[in-house]
Amino acid sequence: MTRKIPGSGLAKGLAVTLRTMTKRSVTQGYPEVAPELPPRSRGVIALFEENCTVCMLCARECPDWCIYIDSHKEVVPAKEPGARDRTRNVLDRFAIDFALCMYCGICVEVCPFDALFWSPEFEYATDDIRALTHERDTLRAWMWTVPAPPALDERAEEPKEFAMARRAAEKLAKERQAGPGTGEEA
Report the binding-site residues for [4Fe-4S] cluster.
Answer: 52, 55, 58, 62, 101, 104, 107, 111
User: Which neighbouring-strand residues pair with 68?
Assistant: 95
What length does the chain have? 186
CA 46 to chain centre: 6
Binding residues: 52, 55, 58, 62, 101, 104, 107, 111
Single-letter code of the amino acid located at 71: S
The Cα 59–Cα 67 span in angstroms is 5
Q: What residues contact residue 47 under an 8 Å CB cut-off, 6+ apart?
A: 94, 115, 116, 136, 139, 140, 142, 143
Angle among Cα 98, 101, 104 to the nearest 5 degrees reads 135
